[in-house]
Amino acid sequence: MDRAGLIERTKAFVKGSLEGAEGGHDWSHTQRVHRTALLLLEGERADALVVELAALMHDLADSKFHNGDEALGGRLAEGFLRDQGVGAATTAQVVELIGTMSFRHGLGEGPGTEPSMELKILQDADRLDAMGAVGIARAFSYGGFKNRALHDPNVPPDPNMDKQAYKSSTAPTINHFYEKLLLLKDQMHTPTAKRLAAQRHAFMLEFLDRFLKEWEGKE
């Protein structure tokens, strides 16, 4: 198999599929997750081809933008990989990763089996992009896309939501920090991701402190 050619064709396929996507879930987001996954791969033993393909196709059809269809992305990826002549085992692994890597997938579920290293790397890469300066920008981009309030002190955050409550939430954007973004630091798997997450977590705390002071008209 021409691996380099496959990766380039996958990039072209995903870029075309995400044309016009919301700014926090667009081709630029995919590129960042792919680059971070490659960085994390440097220190871990994993199937690099599976990780790259899944990183590139993980947001082909985010269910938030497709009437809650959580299987659509996997179906699109499966069809593409089959057309490219990718083996059944690799294709199945990529599809499985796409369907299980999201934050909301694990909400409300107890401890499960130990995730594969491929899943750990993908989750770390995707979750790192939800943190720090880029994560802040993405949160407000999506909040604007959904016409949500920036902040409402009368709507307290709920960091213990189950999957259905999380999917149906219309809470202000600031709540999203307490319901997801600030929880991510302690969910990282790999040493590199833990180090990067600590830095980005600290930046988000600094931002929230400043935001809430300005919201109240304080210095």
DSSP state, residue 63 = G
Rounded Cα–Cα distance for residues 90 and 141 (Å):
34
pLDDT, tens digit, for every residue of 155-201? 999 998 887 888 788 999 999 999 999 999 999 999 999 999 999 99
| Entry pTM | 0.90
**Which residue stretches of the chain are H helix?**
3-17, 27-41, 48-57, 72-83, 88-100, 117-128, 132-145, 163-168, 173-179, 191-215
Output the CA torsion sign for 166, 134, 195, 156: negative
Query: Closest Cα partner for 193 from 2, 29, 44?
Result: 44
Tell me the CATH number of domain 3-215, given options 2.60.40.3080, 1.10.287.3510, 3.40.50.920, 1.10.3210.50. Answer: 1.10.3210.50
139 alpha carbon, distance to own chain's centre:
12
pLDDT, tens digit, for every residue of 123-153? 999 999 999 999 999 999 999 999 999 999 9
Q: Is 112 exposed, middle or buried (0-12, 13-18, 19+ CB in 10 A)?
A: exposed
* Token representation of residue 3: 């691996």
Give the domain ranges of the chain.
3-215
